[in-house]
Amino acid sequence: MREVGAFASLLVAVGCAAAPAARPPGSAVEFSEALPTGYESLGSVHADCRQQPRDHALAGVPAVNLACGRAELERALVEQANARGGSVLAGERCRRAGARLHCNALVGRPGGANGRALAATDDAARRSEAELPATVASRVLIDVEARDVHFDRRARAAADVTEFTAVPIGHVELGVMRARCDVDACDDTEARAGLRLAAGGLGVSDLVGVRCFAFDGARACVGTLAMSERDPETDPSAR
């Protein structure tokens, strides 16, 4: 079985079954081909997203659509398993239909008193600021203003997007990105995490001069997009 940390950055639809005591969102959840012997089922979970074209200008695009991949969907499943009190995701299946990607799995935990104790006493580390819960990521909208820029570099994790106060030497500005939501739909930390999530999804490595504020019932974080002039993955001399 393989272990995946908790993150979820995607629109999530939860299957049926009553949920026991929730596990901390940073808890470890393992993946298995089938529900192990002695485990009880807590029902199914599923998550999906729709891949967003990397246009120069974006307006009101959910952050989840800019980071649409299997790894992100698996983190969404893990978040849901934690909420159910589960410790294993069994029989995961992912399928793509056009721009839409969908994954589902069965949640399980050890049967009897041992399973209940695990859900109540697991004190694994909480999610980092770079991680955004699925339910929040779907409410964070992204706007991008960029000219004469093609976002053609590989996507990267939100944790791999670095914030600077000024554009680093050897880097170029690409445009401005804003992450926004209703004031009661996310806080400043989550809006900022949405900014990093979306920037990474576009393959952008840097955010410069990020500032967050609230106005007229909305919350927003704004930053300048930047990346190195030369791509080290395609230009060996840039390494």
* CATH value at residue 227: 3.30.110
Residue 90 near residue 33, CB atoms below 8 Å: yes
Pair 34, 123 in one domain? yes
Domain match, 74 and 10 both: yes
Examine residue 221 and state whether it is found in any structural domain, yes or no.
yes
Let me know whether 13 and 76 are in one domain. Answer: yes
More confidently predicted of 130 and 86: 86
**Residue 36: Cβ within 10 Å count:** 14
Q: Last residue of some domain: 132, 163, 182?
A: 132
Whether 128 and 162 map to the same domain: the answer is: no
13, 46 Cβ separation under 8 angstroms: yes
Q: Are residues 79 and 179 in the same domain?
A: no
**Inside any domain, residue 168:** yes
Alpha-helical (H) ranges within the chain are 70-84, 113-121, 134-137, 188-201
Q: pLDDT class for 235, splitting at 50, 70, 90?
A: low
Task: Assess if residue 30 is contained within a domain.
Answer: yes
Residue-range definition of the domain harbouring residue 95 = 2-52+66-132
Amino acid found at 218: A
Shared domain check, 170 and 73:
no
Gap between the Cα atoms of 147 and 72, Å rounded? 29
| Model pLDDT for residues 21-71, shown as the tens digit of each residue | 455 445 579 999 999 999 999 999 999 888 877 666 789 998 888 888 888
d(CA 141, CA 135): 13
Of 126 and 178, which is predicted with more confidence? 178
Q: Looking at the structure, do residues 191 and 217 belong to the same domain, yes or no?
A: yes
Looking at residue 123, its pLDDT comes to: 36
Give the pLDDT of residue 116.
46
Tell me the pLDDT tens digit for each residue of 170-221: 999 999 999 999 999 999 999 999 999 999 989 999 999 999 999 989 999 9
Contact 73, 103 (CB under 8 A): yes
Please check whether residues 145 and 125 belong to one and the same domain. Answer: no
Instruction: Using the 3D structure, point to which of 76, 104, 132 is the last residue of a domain.
Output: 132
Q: For position 55, what pLDDT does the model report? A: 66
Domain end among 79, 97, 132 = 132
The total of structural domains in the chain comes to: 2
Same domain as 213, residue 160:
yes
80 three-class SS: helix
Task: Give the strands of the sheet with 58-62, arranged side by side.
Answer: 58-62, 141-146, 171-182, 218-228, 206-215, 162-164
One domain for residues 128 and 144: no
- Amino acid 135: pLDDT: 72
pLDDT for 41 equals 95
Q: Domain check: are 220 and 189 in the same one?
A: yes
Instruction: Tell me, yes or no, whether 162 and 46 share the same domain.
Output: no
Whole-angstrom Cα distance, residue 84 to residue 220? Answer: 31
